[in-house]
Structure 1
Amino acid sequence: MGHVEAAPVVTNEEKDVSESLLGDKKVTVVFVLGGPGSGKGTQCANIVQNFGFTHLSAGDLLRAEIKSGSENGTMIQNMIKEGKIVPSEVTIKLLQRAMLESGNDKFLIDGFPRNEENRAAFENVTKITPEFVLFFDCSEEEMEKRLLNRNQGRDDDNIETIRKRFKVFVESSLPVVEYYESKGKVKKIDAAKPIPEVFEDVKAIFSSYGAKQAM
Structure 2
Amino acid sequence: MLRLSATKNAFGMSRAMVSRRIARKPMNLTHASYSTRSSNQGNSKGKIIVGLGALVAGTTLFNIFYEKENPKSSIDPPLVKRSFPDGAISVIFVLGGPGSGKGTQCAKLVKEQGFVHLSAGDLLREEQKREGSQYGELIASYIKDGKIVPQEVTISLLDRAIKENYNKGQKRFLVDGFPRKMDQALTFEEQIANSKFTLFFECPEEVMLRRLLERGKTSGRADDNIESIRKRFATFIDTSMPVIDYFEKLGKVVKIRCDQPVDEVYAKVKQSIASRSA
> How far has the Cα of 1:83 moved from its partner?
2.0
Unmatched tracts of structure 2, length 5 or more: 1-79
Q: Which has the larger radius of gyration?
A: 2
> How far has the Cα of 1:73 moved from its partner?
1.6
2-structure distance, mates of 1:137, 1:74: 32
Task: Answer yes or no: is the 8 Å Cα contact 2:146–2:229 preserved in 1.
Answer: no
Name which of 153, 177, 180 aligns with 1:111. 177
Q: What's the secondary structure of 1:187's corresponding residue? A: strand
1-structure distance, mates of 2:205, 2:99: 9
Q: What's the secondary structure of 2:106's corresponding residue? A: helix
RMSD: 1.6
Q: Which residue is equivalent to 1:7?
A: none
Task: Answer yes or no: is the 8 Å Cα contact 2:201–2:258 preserved in 1.
Answer: yes
Q: What's the secondary structure of 1:71's corresponding residue? A: coil
Task: Deviation per CA, 1:97-143: give whole Å up to 9, x if none.
Answer: 000111211110000000111111111222x2211100000010110
Q: What's the secondary structure of 1:65's corresponding residue? A: helix
Unmatched tracts of structure 1, length 5 or more: 1-14
Q: Which residue is equivalent to 1:42?
A: 104
Aligned length: 193
Runs of 4 or more consecutive aligned structure 1 residues displaced over 3 Å after TM superposition: none
User: Does residue 87 of the first structure (1) align with residue 150 of the second (2)?
Assistant: yes
How much identity, in percent, do the aligned residues show? 52
User: Does residue 56 of the first structure (1) align with residue 121 of the second (2)?
Assistant: no
2-structure distance, mates of 1:202, 1:188: 9
Task: Deviation per CA, 1:24-70: give whole Å up to 9, x if none.
Answer: x6211100000000000000011112221111000000000001031
2-structure distance, mates of 1:110, 1:192: 18
Q: Which amino acid aligns with 2:124?
A: L
Q: Which residue is equivalent to 2:197?
A: 132
Q: Which residue is equivalent to 2:42?
A: none
> How far has the Cα of 1:210 moved from its partner?
2.8
Pairwise mapping of residues 10-29 of structure 1 onto structure 2 (< 5 A)? 18-19=82-83, 21-22=84-85, 26-29=88-91
Q: What's the secondary structure of 1:206's corresponding residue? A: helix
TM-score (norm 1): 0.85
1-structure distance, mates of 2:277, 2:196: 11
1-structure distance, mates of 2:116, 2:191: 20
Q: Which residue is equivalent to 2:209?
A: 144
Q: What's the secondary structure of 2:180's corresponding residue? A: coil
Task: Answer yes or no: is the 8 Å Cα contact 2:95–2:176 preserved in 1.
Answer: yes
2-structure distance, mates of 1:93, 1:178: 25
Q: Which residue is equivalent to 2:253?
A: 186
Q: Which residue is equivalent to 1:12?
A: none
Q: Which residue is equivalent to 2:189?
A: 123
TM-score (norm 2): 0.66
